[in-house]
Amino acid sequence: MPSTLHNTPMAKEASSQGLLAKFFGISADEHGDSQWRPDSTAGFEVIGLGLSRTGTTSLREALTMLGFGPVHHGVEIYRRPDHRERVIEFMHWLNQHPRESETASHEMKKRLRALTRGYRSTMDAPMCDLIPEVVATYPDAKFILTVRDSEESWWCSWNESIGHQLGTGPRRFLYRCLISSVHLLRRMDDLCQEIRIRLERNWGSISPRMYRLHNQRVHELVPQERLLEYNVKDGWGPLCAFLDVEVPDRPFPRLNEGANIKAIYVGHQLFGAATWAFYLGLVVGAVYLAAKHRNPSAFLQSALKWIGLRSE
């Protein structure tokens, strides 16, 4: 068996996970089971409505340990290209048809259920930004609002990590230019912009007050008996009591990836710049060969030698 594993998608995925760990310090093992298979009968049982940078990664791992996995999280969108495209399509559709959300239409619920089928829980964006949609679609779920000690501490963490990708100024324009040479990065940025549109529609602007307004909206829409306001500093006790499960004989997971997010943001730009440099090198090489060989046949032969497809 080990000898046949190297060319499988699973092995390739493991290789990409190794790169994440090597360059960004991110352990794939801390982001859910990459080998899970969707369960067509599963639907959301636990929904995290706390904004990003409120302990959602720690809570995702805790829910997995308690048996509420698989958990839909931002890493899943990176990890699964087909799912990423469905998420982008859904967010774009919602932004283009806000009335569907306002009326909790049958079409909106059908699309959201199809998108989330196979997951038992969800944390983080984009689901945490779709408060009325998920409450209307999954009224029997349990909801967890993760919070930080203060609005100021949340904004500082948000602005120094995720905020880089949701801005609108010159830095954001430069980022888009650099990463546009890489399809994955370009599509992930497309999703970030759909999320930005949604946040601005919800709260008027992306600012510190968004934290307070978001949490108020959660309390307005979610029945209090189905809602737990939760700080991950509180550990297993209140979480397990709310979910009616036993407290595990293991420490509560403490994961903080603010520094990793910033490293990834810089890494995206470096990788995009390197890709542009490679493309530029190809163009310069082609121009050089064309100038050196005005005879098309001789130019073609030299080009093939240059890229290694023809021997001397």
d(Cα 135, Cα 218) in Å, to the nearest integer?
A: 9
CATH number of 33-256: 3.40.50.300
Q: Strands 227-230 and 71-72, how do they pair?
A: unpaired
The set of residues, in sequence order, having a beta carbon less than 8 Å from that of 255 and lying 6+ positions away, is 30, 57, 58, 61
Instruction: Look at the chain and count its residues.
Output: 312
- pLDDT category of residue 3 using cuts at 50, 70 and 90: very low
pLDDT of residue 14: 39
Q: Strands 227-230 and 46-48, how do they pair?
A: unpaired
- pLDDT category of residue 50 using cuts at 50, 70 and 90: very high
pLDDT in tens, 114-126: 999 889 999 998 9
Per-residue pLDDT, averaged over 237-265, amounts to 85
pLDDT of residue 279: 79
Mean pLDDT, the chain, integer: 81
Percent residues over pLDDT 70 in the chain: 77
Number of other residues whose CB lies within 10 A of the CB of residue 3: 5
pTM of the full structure: 0.77
pLDDT in tens, 26-35: 454 544 455 5
Over 70: is that where the pLDDT of 299 sits? no
Do 303 and 291 contact (CB within 8 A), yes or no? no
Higher pLDDT, 144 or 21: 144
- pLDDT category of residue 59 using cuts at 50, 70 and 90: very high
Q: Among 9-23, 158-172, 218-232, whose mean pLDDT is lowest?
A: 9-23
Phi and psi at 222, nearest 5°, equal -100, 125
Number of other residues whose CB lies within 10 A of the CB of residue 217: 16
Q: Where are the domains of the chain?
A: 33-256, 262-312
Burial of 45 (0-12, 13-18, 19+ CB in 10 A): middle
Per-residue pLDDT, averaged over 184-212, amounts to 92
Q: Among 40-44, 60-64, 108-112, 174-178, whose mean pLDDT is lowest?
A: 40-44
d(Cα 236, Cα 239) in Å, to the nearest integer?
A: 5
Q: Strands 71-72 and 121-122, how do they pair?
A: parallel
